[in-house]
Structure 1
């Protein structure tokens, strides 16, 4: 039994003893493993029930989940190996296309390393899900082993091999541990868009971006590819590894004379045409593309089969469908590397696959069969114009066949385009790229490498899920006002947004870098139990342990590991929990070290703690954990002075040094957005009534929005989530009282929320459905607010209401209840502050309506400058503190 295996077993033993109360003994025996019929050491655990520690102990929920949930078990097992296994020096793990085959850049590196005497004492581990895809000459080599993705052996090697080489990405649970060297080679010069530039589902590149952040080296064939990888994955200024512009090892294989490939494919006599189309289908739905592929390939064989051997290189899923239908085509098997294949090809037919870049080095004919170019452009997008590439573009298979006869003239016809591609994308491809990569990785040769850092301060911020609320508005405004000449800002969030959150997320400033969390936490069972205990007891535990020990070692380790899983060794100077309501993000930032850590309070937090919706506390469970975690942050930031004072008063028993730690920073505003939104006002007439309308272009049908206020009556308006703290019910009751004296008034309520049904019932029961309008959520509420006469905010508690600042930008008369957040905005004569009651609102509404008082004009430019200065004050980086 080797030391690499014994270490995790001791950990398992300790965990099982803790959770079951049994004393466990471990016995080792030698067993045979099927793979390559070589002896491997395995192990069994024998539970000799020598000693029962506690006869009443129950199996924990985490252990039950471990036994019944395969995904959770895999994560726990990997985490155990990650924490306990030592680094296997002189061992290299290779993975290509998630274990599909031995191919691409990892294969080219392997081929050279396996024959290099300098690496004769190295062991090589290939991730290969099907041994049939392994070239036979490698199957019996004593220093080569094969493992399948997600197998137990895979988990162990992934957690312990010194060198990790991948051309795509490792699973979401992977973390590069200290001492490992992770090389991501990627797999082609991108004609098609990558990362955030791709059309389609937001965050579809999230695990790849996470992988890039873990790497020590990103291998690039040229500057164009390097820049596209870095910028399409928002790595510039953040990524701390190195980019190595070395050329592609796999292109070296194109220069080889691969007779064995010709023999294997049975094309020793004829010239070879390779048809290599891009994967277009969806898993489980490839019938349409499959039929066209078969028809086109058969047409090629019918017309050209006498002169050429026609080979078809397709995605493995498509290949399986063809085989299932028992159609006889010359399909290239997955155990033949694409670049070794290119070395025997005379004419390449492709569409948008990067395979053609590698083939350009041969200067042989390329034909682009791009029958769906416009559709593909719309669905995926391109970086480069296919017209600039060295070959004709055909729309039908007959055009392709016609072009074959002219292919011998292509070196002349496409000479300029060929030279452009060779100089721009293949200038490093001299057959020695593999050697340059090996020198870079194993001999620290830095002449091909560089870093993409800059002198900016890096900020990581969690904004709260981008719901329709003031926190989101405040976050969007802040991110529009930050000086991007001085700061790199990365927003972190989930990727599975609903429609509401997606709309808000899409409003982020274009300079913001976006990171989408993928996967779940890597945990050990005892850590799960510790976290469950923390979540159950929260602040109670604070009183038992005190601030320094509130988060025990297991919790801290758990969240340090999670941060490393998400961000690798990327550099962030400042983290900001701008939400302050979600314990996962609070704990993640609290447990890790940065120059400065801020957590925001957007409301009166004890009021939020006690808030009940549908007979349940909305925030108590989270805040019970979060409040004591304030001690792990440098600043606890309220959004207004009065709000800070109230929060400090009510939470200082939980926060050490609250006088210095608990500060306030005013919300910034986006006055240009508010004023510009007024210019987008559009209306439409239906009968004798006028409605707001929405439409993005002249050709789109306008969508009917809310009724435009009648100028002959006095119109009140409010905006906010329909929830208890906003208390629109109080406002409706106040409106009812005003209506008894003056029927020439109406009320517009903008927003959605959990109280919508209750408010609607109140309106109908009072018979005022023609006077009180629930207009729902509006993407652009400002024309409606501007068309009303007075804004009313009936809230019971607020931090610093963004909507009041927006109404001040519009110079709109305001009535608001006398609570700290409202007072912080309107005091000193900017609006009417009234008693927080129905009577108080009635008095204010009648005063503003009848007396038309004047209020101070808001200098929004000066306010915004001062708000940003307040923010910058607390994100100064102390150069003496290590990031």
Structure 2
């Protein structure tokens, strides 16, 4: 019979350490959970846990820098809580990707568990812990569920720009902004930081959580007793400590250049100062791994050492633009700013504050740094005024009790240091259609330039990624618009995905079978209500406007969620759009099969002109209940100042014997040909797509050209029919007379230089380009369709039969008879258009 002797694990550990000389760190299998399965795009596991798991009332999930280590504000809060008797019955969970980055003192605590980000256990805890404390952001699939308390502590007073203020690509802060909209508390060390975080992420007036201006818990760690910390890091007692903490500048996968510079600078510091100082280096984790393996002679601070605990033993700090220096100011010890690339960094990232006003010398070379170290004994005298300013502005609450204030706010609802940023304005959420080069984009930009921002906070929600075309248009939005970028994908259960597939396949047929009240299955309602929470958290919106009306995702999202009012726009004759074919495929049919019945979920369905509304009502009243009251019209607003100013923004140059615009960047040609004033010039503008019917205009131009050779035609725009139109022009041999000039950032100088604008469309809503030509007092010829008629009737232009001969007749009339038309009062028109909109808001 075999017998077994149980030996405690701690005794085995001590024996192995004694025999080998190595320190053994034991991790329990259940304590660190690895990712088992690859995370799928729909995050079905998290969604399942979100929907099914109950809240764990006395459990707190902490995460710092996406699981890199236990550090910063979450660590300071954890450290206080785990030693506070009031929280003895709490369970603490740390998102930690490497167990070696856990301080040993916490490794074997029975009420602390460690999970890897994105592991199955992580998903479970993220979906069920009562309290969530993070200093950056949770993944895009995260949703704060009812009953959870989310605290975002952030990680520093910003010298560098944040959010939308950063230079670089649009929406690079999108997941952080999304996270903020979920939080119950945003922790701020001072008013300056609170304001920058709120305004750089467009939260003012929208965010419904609380700002807790408490001071930073992590600064409490700088003020803690540090007797044993030097010894733990192997620092000699007889040497002072210099910490070099540079900002991350590299790119993931390419850190060699930055590492080489750091190695060089550390060697110079060691050679000059090594007799007096221990020189420690604190760097980004990507650099840390490289330095630790290849340059063991450099004293790189381990990942598990918290930066603020480290600052408590530092005698002099060398940094550049890292917010670590704000925390160190509390010690009043010397700070040296090694800003060798200040101008480039300012250009690439941007600053909120002038580094020259910060408390310390600015050095451009490592030798300047060494000179300033030798002057360190005079630091407090030289920089007293700047130190006092920074202390008063950025550290007024740092008295060692910031952590206690945060705990009181979160766990005991102490409102002494909290406030909200809500206001009494009406909050509007809009989707505008992707910001392509089209009339909807122009109309949206104009509306958002005209709306009253004293009454309304307006947030425009858009896709997460932009190309050159759409980013330029998006950047034209009024600076008062709050910009939101969709990030991540929907959290969907498999049965919900099946129901959505059925809805997208059958659409309006489902409506006929079920009727408006039951058109959307409970699974569709559930998944799109969950998606709204994922995107916008508990932010407050009173009105939603689907300004596009073409994208079923946004139409469903707005339709199924609760708001005081819901509006959806119709920018065209919708049944003709429904029937539009491009490349032998219906372009919009699938979307509209879903969208048209959803009109019943909106308060108003708004066409952009009365005639267009009448057509849409007639075509769709079989799908829209109460269509007489629900289907209304509001004219597009205009930006006449922009149009008139844009006419003046051009210079011209000659290439050979032809004159070209020299400052216009077009999509399809290098330079824009300037019209020859000795001939009669027609111009049109619009997407090169079927409904615009440029073929008809080209054929009408050919008929006119046979009778009068001194004419030209300029076609502004790009689109799917470009090759076909090019071939047609070449078939007539008129490529020197008919110019496809492409998409122009500023088309108005060209339009102004031409004699007459022609719009040959087969259907339109209310063409923005006609309104813009009226602002320029340009003669107009347009086909007799409802949208064109709504702009030009009563004498504002020439309305002609929608045919080749109709266009020929109009073009000859304008050329030879030179009729006069009514002058457009664009100021009065714009006031009336906005009043029409306000009536439905």
Does the alignment reach a TM-score above 0.5? yes
User: Is 2:381 the counterpart of 1:412?
Assistant: yes
1:477 is matched with 446
Question: 1:664 pairs with 608, 630, 633, which one?
Answer: 633
1:196 is matched with 164
Question: 1:247 pairs with 192, 215, 218, which one?
Answer: 215
When residues 736 and 862 of structure 1 are mapped into structure 2, their CA distance, relative to the original with a 3 A threshold, is same
Look up the SS of the partner of 1:70 in the other structure: coil
1:277 is matched with 246
Q: Distance in 1 between matches of 2:61 and 2:250?
A: 31
Task: Say which is worse superposed, 272-281 or 253-262, in terms of deviation.
Answer: 253-262
Q: Distance in 2 between matches of 1:375 and 1:871?
A: 46
1:315 is matched with 284
2:561 is matched with 592
Shift of 1:35: 9.0
When residues 69 and 654 of structure 1 are mapped into structure 2, their CA distance, relative to the original with a 3 A threshold, is farther
Shift of 1:132: 0.2
Matches within 5 A, 1:513-528: 513-528=482-497
Shift of 1:264: 1.6
Contact map agreement 2:64 2:134 (CA 8 A) in 1: yes
Shift of 1:40: 8.8
1:143 is matched with 111
User: Is 2:699 the counterpart of 1:736?
Assistant: no
1:760 is matched with 726
1:127 is matched with 95
Contact map agreement 1:35 1:146 (CA 8 A) in 2: no
Contact map agreement 2:32 2:115 (CA 8 A) in 1: no
Matches within 5 A, 1:200-349: 200-269=168-237, 270-349=239-318
Q: Distance in 1 between matches of 2:676 and 2:38?
A: 61
Q: Distance in 1 between matches of 2:58 and 2:451?
A: 47
Q: Distance in 2 between matches of 1:450 and 1:403?
A: 42
Look up the SS of the partner of 1:454 in the other structure: coil
1:396 is matched with 365
2:343 is matched with 374
- Cα root mean square deviation, aligned: 1.5
1:854 is matched with 820
Matches within 5 A, 1:6-17: none
Look up the SS of the partner of 2:228 in the other structure: helix
Shift of 1:691: 1.5
2:551 is matched with 582
Matches within 5 A, 1:418-429: 418-429=387-398
Unaligned runs of 5+ in 1: 1-33, 43-66, 697-702, 876-883
Contact map agreement 1:165 1:183 (CA 8 A) in 2: yes
Q: Distance in 2 between matches of 1:710 and 1:276?
A: 63
Question: 2:469 pairs with 500, 505, 517, which one?
Answer: 500
User: Is 2:86 the counterpart of 1:95?
Assistant: no
When residues 165 and 695 of structure 1 are mapped into structure 2, their CA distance, relative to the original with a 3 A threshold, is same
1:37 is matched with 28
2:753 is matched with 787
Aligned length: 811
1:864 is matched with 830
Cα deviation 1:807-838 (Å, max 9, x = unaligned): 11111111100110001111111111111110
User: Is 2:529 the counterpart of 1:560?
Assistant: yes
Q: Distance in 2 between matches of 1:858 and 1:72?
A: 53
TM-score (norm 2): 0.95
2:619 is matched with 650
1:53 is matched with none
Shift of 1:681: 2.7
2:587 is matched with 618
Cα deviation 1:646-677 (Å, max 9, x = unaligned): 00101111111111111100000001111111
Q: Distance in 1 between matches of 2:251 and 2:729?
A: 50
Look up the SS of the partner of 2:592 in the other structure: helix
Q: Distance in 1 between matches of 2:779 and 2:281?
A: 72
Look up the SS of the partner of 1:259 in the other structure: coil
Look up the SS of the partner of 2:113 in the other structure: strand
Look up the SS of the partner of 2:675 in the other structure: coil
1:185 is matched with 153
2:82 is matched with 114
Task: Say which is worse superposed, 224-233 or 297-306, in terms of deviation.
Answer: 297-306
TM-score (norm 1): 0.91
2:797 is matched with 831
Shift of 1:704: 5.8
Contact map agreement 2:32 2:116 (CA 8 A) in 1: no
Matches within 5 A, 1:153-192: 153-192=121-160
2:457 is matched with 488
Look up the SS of the partner of 1:796 in the other structure: coil
Q: Distance in 2 between matches of 1:172 and 1:38?
A: 28
Q: Distance in 2 between matches of 1:69 and 1:530?
A: 25
User: Is 2:762 the counterpart of 1:771?
Assistant: no
Q: Distance in 2 between matches of 1:637 and 1:149?
A: 46
Contact map agreement 1:692 1:704 (CA 8 A) in 2: no
Contact map agreement 1:168 1:186 (CA 8 A) in 2: yes
Look up the SS of the partner of 1:72 in the other structure: coil
Shift of 1:68: 9.4
Q: Distance in 1 between matches of 2:572 and 2:425?
A: 31
Look up the SS of the partner of 2:44 in the other structure: helix
Look up the SS of the partner of 2:446 in the other structure: helix
Contact map agreement 1:216 1:242 (CA 8 A) in 2: yes
Contact map agreement 2:31 2:114 (CA 8 A) in 1: no
Cα deviation 1:380-412 (Å, max 9, x = unaligned): 001011111111111111111111111011010
When residues 393 and 119 of structure 1 are mapped into structure 2, their CA distance, relative to the original with a 3 A threshold, is same
Question: 2:607 pairs with 634, 638, 646, which one?
Answer: 638
Shift of 1:97: 0.4
Contact map agreement 1:797 1:819 (CA 8 A) in 2: yes
1:51 is matched with none
Look up the SS of the partner of 2:691 in the other structure: coil
Shift of 1:711: 1.5
Shift of 1:70: 3.1
Q: Distance in 2 between matches of 1:336 and 1:687?
A: 69
Shift of 1:705: 2.5
When residues 41 and 471 of structure 1 are mapped into structure 2, their CA distance, relative to the original with a 3 A threshold, is closer
When residues 68 and 150 of structure 1 are mapped into structure 2, their CA distance, relative to the original with a 3 A threshold, is closer
Question: 2:326 pairs with 353, 357, 370, which one?
Answer: 357
User: Is 2:405 the counterpart of 1:436?
Assistant: yes
Look up the SS of the partner of 1:314 in the other structure: coil
When residues 39 and 867 of structure 1 are mapped into structure 2, their CA distance, relative to the original with a 3 A threshold, is closer
When residues 839 and 245 of structure 1 are mapped into structure 2, their CA distance, relative to the original with a 3 A threshold, is same
Contact map agreement 2:292 2:300 (CA 8 A) in 1: no
Look up the SS of the partner of 1:472 in the other structure: helix
Shift of 1:695: 6.7
Cα deviation 1:300-331 (Å, max 9, x = unaligned): 11111111111000011001111232442111
Contact map agreement 2:216 2:402 (CA 8 A) in 1: yes
Q: Distance in 2 between matches of 1:711 and 1:363?
A: 73
Shift of 1:39: 6.7
Contact map agreement 1:725 1:797 (CA 8 A) in 2: yes
Q: Distance in 1 between matches of 2:303 and 2:138?
A: 20
